[in-house]
Amino acid sequence: MLLLRNADIYAPAKLGRADILIAGGRIERVEPGIRISDSYCDAVDASPFIAVPGLIDGHVHVTGGGGEGGYATRTPEVMLSDAVRGGVTTVVGCLGTDGVTRSMAGLLAKARGLDEEGISTFIYTGHYAVPVRTLTGSIEQDLLFIDKVIGVGEVALSDHRSSQPTFDQFVRTAAEARRGGMLSGKAGIVNVHMGDGPRGLALIRRVLAETEIPITQFLPTHINRNPMLFDEGIAYAKSGGLVDFTTSTVPAFLDEGEVKCSAGLRRMLDGGVDISHITFTSDGQGSLPDFDAQGRLRRLEIGRVTSLFAEVRDAVRDEHVPLEIALQVVTSTPARILKLRGKGVVAAGADADIVLLDPGDLGICGTIAKGRWLMRDRQGLVKGTFE
């Protein structure tokens, strides 16, 4: 057992100071003054720290991504230590542009490997292309028969790399994901990659106008990609939709109009968007390609899972978003949207995924996943098998 004594807890709501008792990979009790003999547990003075839920990164290319510039531009797989340093205790793996040399079988295997190494993992079935390539032959069967599959994605729209799905193809994808989610008790959500194209969210809006599929069936990501898409995203979220910001970026993209996540969060809140409709994800290990007007690759960077909390921290420090609000976009909100039971909260009965923060600089000092220390006193204690 592990006992964190007198931590300043944001669950993500601010609870104040209390003890957290962990046993068997779960949180047993959260209350002040838990009395238990130190001989039965590892008791740690957590009074110098803020304790928050382990972070959920809902969009990570765990097997690598990229390839838009040829074979040499395929990005590497994520390593356990990357997640640990970033306070990420749960990842959702996905494929992107490349669904050929990066396969669904490989994605599932990598997710299971990370799970064995110490963090929790889930995956989306499919990649940019529609019809979706699955493991079992259908979206419904993947959701019903493969435990780690929780939805579909990332399906690309408004992008020159998209398979340019027709309206009927896109509707069928969403409908099958919805049925599979209902039958399996999973989210069955469609994670939609939004490109720079002028059509923006038009295809999703048409689905909502012409079918009975609810707006919450879709999670459009990269919504901060450019000013036009961001403004459209504000209106979409205010009408009940979900929107996801991508935290990985480079200065050149910001100079060209990409909206920095921390500033974008402030703008959406000021614009009347409910915080429960906003998530952050890192696009970790995904490529960050820069194309010219003719679709030719000019340069390529790589996404990092460590960018996830960095933007939450910037939202608090630079944009004055309260910590208990900013935390929701990487904890309780993705847990609710993706139906990740036991995740995203510090509460009795929840999974023992906890991050300890320095109250001064909001730096990550400790990471606990499944009740096990992965990082302590800012020092990593574990690495991936081949690190």
Q: Which among 283, 314, 351, 353 is annotated as catalytic?
A: 283
Known catalytic residue: 57? Answer: no
Structure tokens at 191: 């994670």
Contact 82, 382 (CB under 8 A): no
Distance CA 84, CA 104 (A): 24
Distance CA 94, CA 58 (A): 9
Q: Three-state SS for 333? A: helix
374-386 burial code (b ≥16 CB/10 A, e <16): bbeeeeeebebee
Q: How far is CA 228 from the centre of its chain?
A: 23
E strands of 54-188, at which residues? 55-60, 88-93, 120-125, 149-157
261-270 and 307-317 helices, crossing angle to 10°: 50
With a CB cutoff of 8 Å and minimum separation 6, the contacts of 348 are 27, 28, 29, 30
Annotated catalytic residues are 283
